[in-house]
Amino acid sequence: MLEGLLIGLSAAISPFNLMMVVMGCLIGTLIGMLPGLGPMSIIAIMIPVAIGIGDPTAALILLSGVYYGAIFGGSTSSILLNAPGVAGTVASSFDGYPMARKGQAGKALTIAAIASFAGGTIGAVLLMIFAPALSSVALLFHSAEYFALMVVGLSAIAAFAGTGQVAKALMMTILGLILGTVGEGALSNMPRFTFGMMDLQSGFSFITLAMAMFALPEALFLVMNPSRAATGDSGKIDNLRISKEEAKSIAPVIGRQSIQGFFIGVLPGAGATIASFLGYAVERNIAKGKEQEEFGKGSIKGLAAPESANNAACTGSFVPLLTLGIPGSGTTAILLGALLALNVTPGPRLMTDTPDVFWAVIISMYIGNLVLLILNLPLIPYIAKILTIPRTFLIPFILFFTLMGSYLGQNNSTELLILVGFGVIATILRFADYPLAPLLIGFILGTMLEDNFARAMQLYRGFGFILERPMTLGLLVLAALLVLLPSYRGYRARKRAEGVADGD
């Protein structure tokens, strides 16, 4: 391993490759900040540039720099505007945005920068140690287990997303899954629920839905209730420092979530999004009393958890790509395409055939994380200046970026009408206190969930896979418990409250 590290180090610190890391991180951060342009589209756009370079090592270094730069930049717009540019940073807005509204935008961005740096770096160390071993664990998972794992993820998200309103969160999850079935189906290419409309053939666009669920209602709420904006528009980003106590309280969170996020990232299909949501849910659940109540209202732990988890998961998603040649996510699938175009076949032989590529990428991850930290911390006061813009200017611009984000994805004006329609529905749902994150995550995971479910059903000729595969059964039982336990607790609390009211 030491020999490999040295090979990687010598390749990665060549001036050209260093420039690629810096360039990749810069481009990724800047574009990732714009709500709507996620890492997938940025990497897809950068592919011709990367292939033009010709050197696979430099190309992969550039693309991976763009990848974590985009995730890193996405958290900035999540925190400042509540408009996540990337699905993986949706969970960061739960506590990051309330912090910004309390006038702690500087602190929130510092925590995000440090947590991302720590998550990415710990992820890179783990990748180096576990890459070969983990791939064999991931191989044990069949589609049945993937299906069950996703059900666990969805149940956990529903169970923790809404405090004391699990049923509402579940309803939103199912609505998300239902929306995910619109368009061409999992196994056959039969269009479903399109009502004969060509525009719905490929289903709803994730970006449009994400914009409609988060950015649009937020902008409309800002319009309807200007006092809402007044609380956060202090624009003073003078408190960049975090205190010793705060550092102490988030250190274990970052440590735990970096490790958990990495392992979730390794599993194909899970990725940064589910890692960040699960990370948030787990930390919220293990927090005690007052700290738990703080979650969703500007808790530093609630921000540090998804930030470290999503960056660690991004690193983790390179494991199946580099060691098995199987992309675990849409983004790594695009990377795989770029590598194949450069005559590099990722897989078990990558480490032996082209060790310079493998190790240089790992070393460049350390360098990339350092670049991101150096880049973001000094820039924070400038980035946060966005909050001082008067709302009469800011709101039309937020709406415009929302519209552009969904337009650029599909290059189709119908998408904008769908965006407005969903935005109105999301605003009404928010009026009634329905959590919207489960809807979006249900929508994102829906297709993968159905794919794996269909594969498992075909392999076992029916529902037999649930009983025949103990791990699947165990995971599904866990999912049921996750949903039922909080509901039962809520039911008992309600009964007790009724009892007290009756004078029992």
When asked if residue 101 is in the footprint of another protein (CB under 8 A), the reply is yes
> What length does the chain have?
504
Residue 394 and residue 80 in contact, taking contact as beta carbons nearer than 8 Å: no
Name the residue nearer to another protein (CB basis): 56 or 423: 423
User: Is the Cβ of residue 188 or residue 343 nearer to another protein in the bound state?
Assistant: 188
Count of other CB atoms within 10 angstroms of residue 172: 27
480 scored as a contact of another protein (CB under 8 A): no
* Span of 18-26, 77-85, 324-332, 395-403 interacting with another protein by CB under 8 A: 395-403
Q: Does 467 bind another protein (CB under 8 A)?
A: no
If binding is defined by CB under 8 A, does position 391 make contact with another protein?
A: yes
Amino acid at 504: D
Q: Which residue in the set 433, 470, 502, 503 belongs to the binding site for another protein (CB under 8 A)?
A: 433
Q: How far apart are CA 206 and CA 121, in angstroms?
A: 29
Q: Which of residues 232-291 bind another protein (CB under 8 A)?
A: none
Shortest distance in whole angstroms from residue 333 CB to another protein: 20
Instruction: Kindly tell me which residue out of 213, 281, 371, 403 binds another protein, with binding defined by CB under 8 A.
Output: 403
b/e 337-360 (16+ beta carbons within 10 angstroms → b)? ebbeebebebeeebbeebeebbbb
Nearest alpha carbon to residue 67 among 29, 121, 98: 29
**Phi, psi for residue 191 in degrees, rounded to 5:** -70, 135
Residues 343 to 372 in contact with another protein, rule: CB under 8 A: none
Pairs from 196-203 (Cβ < 8 Å, separation ≥ 24): 199/412, 199/414, 199/415, 199/418, 203/447
d(CA 351, CA 356): 8
**Least distance in angstroms from the C-beta of 136 to another protein:** 29
Task: Tell whether residue 494 is a contact of another protein (CB under 8 A).
Answer: yes
Residue 141 binds another protein, judged by CB under 8 A: no
Helix (H, G, I), strand (E, B) or coil at 185: coil
Using rule CB under 8 A, residue 2 touches another protein: no
Residue number with CB closer to another protein (122 or 475): 475
Q: Between 242 and 399, whose beta carbon lies closer to another protein?
A: 399
227 binds another protein (CB under 8 A): yes
The candidate with the shortest Cα–Cα distance to 442, out of 205, 211, 153, is 153
| 224 touching another protein, by CB under 8 A | yes
Contact yes or no for 28/66 (Cβ under 8 A)? yes
Report 290-329 residues binding another protein (CB under 8 A). 297
160 binds another protein (CB under 8 A): no
DSSP bridge pairs for 184: 191
The stretch near another protein (CB under 8 A) out of 86-94, 206-214, 251-259, 414-422 is 414-422
- CB-neighbour burial class of residue 424 (10 A; exposed 0-12, middle 13-18, buried 19+): middle
Least distance (Å) from another protein to the CB of residue 445? Answer: 13
DSSP 164: T
d(CA 467, CA 14): 54
Instruction: Report if residue 484 touches another protein, rule: CB under 8 A.
Output: no
Q: State whether the Cα torsion 54-55-56-62 is positive or negative.
A: negative
Binding site for another protein (CB under 8 A): 45, 101, 164, 167-168, 170-171, 174-175, 177-178, 181, 185-188, 190, 192-193, 219-221, 223-228, 231, 297, 390-393, 395-397, 399-400, 403-404, 407-408, 411, 413-414, 416-417, 419-420, 423-424, 428-429, 431-434, 450, 453-454, 457-458, 461-462, 493-494, 497-498, 501
